Amino acid sequence: MGRMRKLLIPGVDKTLLVRDAVKSMPDLTRRRFISGGASLGALTLLTGCDVTDSFSAEEMLKQVSKFNDGVQALMFNPNAMAPTFPESAITKPFPFNAYYDLDEAPEVDGKTWKLEVRGLVENKKSWTLDELYQLPQVKQVTRHICVEGWSAIGSWTGTPLRDFLKLVGADTRAKYVWFQCADKDGYNSPLDMPSALHAQTQMTFKFGDEILPRAYGFPMKIRVPTKLGFKNPKYVLSMEVTNDYKGGFWEDQGYNSFSGS
Amino acid sequence: MSAVTVSDEHAASTKAKVIQPAWVRAMHWTNAFAMVLMIMSGWQIYNASPLFGFTFPRSITLGGWLAGGLLWHFAAMWLLMVNGLIYLVMGVVTGRFRKKLLPITPEGVISDTKAALTGKLSHDDLSRYNYVQKLLYAGIIVVGILIVLSGLALWKPVQLKYLAALFGGYEGARYVHFFCMAAIVAFMVVHVALALLVPKSLRAMIIGR
């Protein structure tokens, strides 16, 4: 059991992981897949509320997705860096992408905006943009990969999130850093702590050497090149260090929560 | 003494009648099921950001929308990969691949293709594959390995970046993954058509003989 405990990963609920592992045993899985196959027609209507069948393919898929969170957390190597590219490889124009049009993108006033820091941190002070700009910054040219499949190379500059977490005295044994954003309908997303502490995970203030434009998340986005695009929140208002899984805008709609690259 | 010999021969001929052993049949149909799930959910994912100027009709995709397609794809992948891995190990360990698929000679493929096109290809002994079958079956195993590897590269382009680099990076892997799918779909069309043309081959894959 001591060995087992070592194999388990921070950021993953141990009871859930074990329950998921048991659920993913071959026999049961196969039986469920077969029952799933029996009504493939009905399953193509799987839009979230259309399935009235009692066996619930949706429940099975959710469980496998949680199992996949655990597998991905195990596969995550904190020392594996996302490939970097020369500036000449940057995609121009870099696409604007959201669930709303550009003219609906949040217009945040940089003068009054403050980054709220909550949860398991020693210093809960809020940070103005000028204060954040004083922190040492690093540039990265990496590939942004969207859950939809397309990708684009961009240049992001900002403060490594792990440096900031250290600065505010965050409990880095906590499971998640949870971000809340200014997007309409309220965007939020949880980031598992190992990914938050990855050297390339960044509080981004600049795109292409210029102050982050509104299209890409002014005043601050979180750039996580080891995650799919939707795990890179823009227009960030607050971050909370927490052990609770608080869900996310897309995660709640069915995208795999870990979604690591 | 002679009675014993007869019954031995009888036993041997009964045994020889098993064209497709049970493990092959079980894995064949498991694979077929997993493949269909992977392809239909894959088309759903493709539609979210098409590589070419077309999308797949919604009615033949799985999952309802992108998230549903992804959930199916990343669930069925386990069935496909585990089944495929066991199949590859069994194929090598039992010597089935060597006995059934090798050797493949260009002359053999050419002459059997001619025979097939002129309707002269024999199907008397289903336990032995002709050269066209050998080439297609060996080829589709290679494509199967490629589609799984390119899929892993797409899933984990950072953690498995050296694998992704083999396919020309993330974007390259998208094309490899797509063309492998196209090859498998083309194979399935031909494979199913031929199985229906020679129904006893289909029976052999269901009941073994």
Question: Does position A149 have pLDDT exceeding 60, yes or no?
Answer: yes
Number of Cα atoms under 13 Å in the Cβ half of residue B34: 22
Nearest Cα residue in chain B from A59: B71
Nearest Cα residue in chain B from A49: B64
Nearest Cα residue in chain B from A30: B79
What percent of chain A lies above the pLDDT cut of 70? Answer: 79
pLDDT of A71 reads: 97
Query: Residue A151 maps to which CATH number?
Result: 3.90.420.10
A158 and A69: one domain? Answer: no
Question: What confidence tens digit (pLDDT) does each residue in B163-205 have?
Answer: 999 999 999 999 999 999 999 999 999 999 989 998 999 999 9
pLDDT of A195 reads: 98
Asked if the ipTM is above 0.90, the reply is no
Nearest to B71 among A45, A61, A146 (CB): A61
Interchain pair B82, A37: CB under 8 A: no
Mean pLDDT to the nearest integer, A241-256 = 96
Q: Is A237 in contact with A220 (CB distance < 8 Å)?
A: no
Let me know if residue A109 belongs to a domain.
yes
Nearest Cα residue in chain B from A47: B64
Residue A61 CB partners (closer than 8 Å, separation 6+): B68, B71, B72, B75
pLDDT of A10 reads: 55
A35 and A99: one domain? Answer: no
- Pick the most confident of A201-205, B7-11, B113-117: A201-205
- Closest of A39, A81, A85, A86 to residue A60, by C-alpha: A39
Question: Does position A17 have pLDDT exceeding 60, yes or no?
Answer: no
A124 and A241: one domain? Answer: yes
Let me know if residue A204 belongs to a domain.
yes
Let me know if residue A16 belongs to a domain.
yes
pLDDT category at B1 given cuts 50, 70, 90 is very low
Mean pLDDT of all residues belonging to chain B: 91
Chain A interface includes B71 (CB < 8 A): yes
The residue of A27, A40, A61 whose CB has the most chain B CBs within 10 angstroms, and thus the best one to mutate to test that interface, is A61
Question: What confidence tens digit (pLDDT) does each residue in B102-147 have?
Answer: 999 999 999 998 988 888 888 878 888 989 899 999 999 999 999 9
pLDDT of B125 reads: 83
Mean pLDDT to the nearest integer, B11-18 = 58
d(CA A83, CA A1): 37
Let me know if residue A62 belongs to a domain.
yes
pLDDT of A2 reads: 45
A123 and A249: one domain? Answer: yes
Question: Chain B residues with CB inside 8 Å of A81's CB?
Answer: 158
pLDDT of A3 reads: 47
A140 and A230: one domain? Answer: yes
- Residue for token digits 């910054």? A137
Q: How far is A15 from chain B (nearest CA, A)?
A: 21
* Domain boundaries, position A69: 2-75
Interchain pair A80, B61: CB under 8 A: no
pLDDT category at B61 given cuts 50, 70, 90 is very high
* Amino acid type, B106: P
Give the tokens for residue B205: 């894959």
Domain limits of chain B?
21-102, 111-209
Let me know if residue A174 belongs to a domain.
yes
Interchain pair A60, B62: CB under 8 A: no
Question: Does position B26 have pLDDT exceeding 50, yes or no?
Answer: yes
* Residue A151 bridge partners (DSSP): A145
Which of residues A3 and B26 earns the better pLDDT score?
A: B26
Question: What confidence tens digit (pLDDT) does each residue in A37-57 have?
Answer: 444 444 444 444 444 444 688
Of the listed ranges A50-64, A69-83, A88-102, the least confidently predicted one is A50-64
Question: Does position A235 have pLDDT exceeding 60, yes or no?
Answer: yes
pLDDT of A56 reads: 87
Measured CA to CA in angstroms, residue B37 lies from A34, A37, A250, B51, B70 at distances of 11, 9, 23, 20, 11
A115 and A226: one domain? Answer: yes
Interchain pair B64, A151: CB under 8 A: no
Nearest Cα residue in chain B from A75: B159
Measured CA to CA in angstroms, residue A184 lies from A100, A129, A233 at distances of 8, 21, 13
Let me know if residue A81 belongs to a domain.
no
A118 and A244: one domain? Answer: yes
Mean pLDDT to the nearest integer, B61-83 = 97
A151 and A59: one domain? Answer: no
A200 and A245: one domain? Answer: yes
A134 and A156: one domain? Answer: yes
- To the nearest 10 degrees (0 to 180), the angle between helices B131-155 and B169-197 is 150
Give the tokens for residue B93: 């360990």
Question: Chain B residues with CB inside 8 Å of A143's CB?
Answer: 157, 170
Which of residues B3 and A103 earns the better pLDDT score?
A: A103
What percent of chain B lies above the pLDDT cut of 90? Answer: 78
Number of domains in chain A: 2
pLDDT of B119 reads: 81
A26 and A111: one domain? Answer: no
Chain A interface includes B157 (CB < 8 A): yes
Chain B interface includes A145 (CB < 8 A): yes
Mean pLDDT to the nearest integer, A150-170 = 98
- Residue for token digits 């195990």? A74
Interchain pair B68, A46: CB under 8 A: yes
Which among A75, A99, A121 is the end of a domain? A75
pLDDT of A1 reads: 41
pLDDT of A4 reads: 45
pLDDT category at B18 given cuts 50, 70, 90 is confident
Nearest to A150 among B49, B63, B64 (CB): B49
Which element (helix H / strand E) includes B77?
helix B66-93
Let me know if residue A137 belongs to a domain.
yes
Chain B interface includes A41 (CB < 8 A): no
A131 and A50: one domain? Answer: no
Nearest to A75 among B61, B82, B159 (CB): B159
pLDDT of A93 reads: 95
pLDDT of A22 reads: 52
Let me know if residue A82 belongs to a domain.
no
Nearest Cα residue in chain A from B48: A148
- Closest of B179, B201, B69, B67 to residue B133, by C-alpha: B201
Interchain pair B158, A83: CB under 8 A: yes
pLDDT category at A36 given cuts 50, 70, 90 is very low
